[in-house]
Homo-oligomer: A and B are copies of this chain.
Amino acid sequence: MKVSVEASAEKRGRGRRSAAEVRSEVLTATVRLLFEEGMQAVTFERIARESGASKTTLYKWWPSPGAIAAEAYFASSEPTLEFPDTGDLHADLVAQLTAFVTLLTDEKVGKPITELIGAVQIDPDVADVWSRTYALPRRELARQRLRVSQLTGELNAEADLDIMVDQLWGACYHRLLILKVPLADLNVDRLVTYSLRGAGSGT
């Protein structure tokens, strides 16, 4: 995972890479910069140097370094934040939200992600990429898991899935971004119980 400047210089000497390879290496380098040095290290200059991509390529593909960070975060967090489906919705939501809270409670991830979300509020280009490549796809994954439980009858077929998503993940972000109180104090099990009962499940 750790790629030094020398290693990326070597890569440059490795011959022509496909666009998909360059894209993937840019995202990997950006996530590394974000988590190791924070948002202030995420510049076109540094990303170009660390990934071996040219700055021209970066300018062409992304409107700002923050936009690369938003896309890179989605790609890197996908395995950690996947939605289990064991047939028990309450347990699956607790597992997913606990992984999410644990990820953000880790200072090395929580701080840069909070800064990235700060950039999302200030720069409309970052907001656009964040919303399209991270937040809305993640909401769709959550909806898909909830729809499975609507089909099996575990969750009320009429439940407003978007409100459930807002209540579940919104509660976590509320503590992280607005209240600035420790996320670790959130009782995830109770949050899930309230949200499922509120939407009309038997949990």
Contacts of A170 in B (CB 8 A): 166-167, 170-175, 178
A120 within 8 A of B: yes
B120:A115 contact, CB within 8 angstroms: no
A81 within 8 A of B: no
A136:B179 contact, CB within 8 angstroms: yes
B195:A167 contact, CB within 8 angstroms: yes
| CB-CB contacts below 8 Å: A115-143 with B | 115, 117-122, 127-128, 130-131, 135-136, 139
A9 within 8 A of B: no
A178:B122 contact, CB within 8 angstroms: no
Question: Chain B nearest CB: distance from A81 CB in Å?
Answer: 14
| CB-CB contacts below 8 Å: A162-197 with B | 163-167, 169-175, 177-181, 186-187, 190-191, 193-197
Contacts of A87 in B (CB 8 A): none
Contacts of A115 in B (CB 8 A): 121-122
B198:A193 contact, CB within 8 angstroms: yes
A114 within 8 A of B: yes
B114:A179 contact, CB within 8 angstroms: no
**Of listed A122, A135, A193, A200, residue having the most chain B CB within 10 A:** A122
Contacts of A107 in B (CB 8 A): none
* Alpha-carbon distance A193/B200, docked complex (angstroms): 10
Question: Chain B nearest CB: distance from A16 CB in Å?
Answer: 37
* Alpha-carbon distance A159/B190, docked complex (angstroms): 10
Question: Chain B nearest CB: distance from A128 CB in Å?
Answer: 8
Contacts of A169 in B (CB 8 A): 174, 178
B166:A120 contact, CB within 8 angstroms: no
A160 within 8 A of B: yes
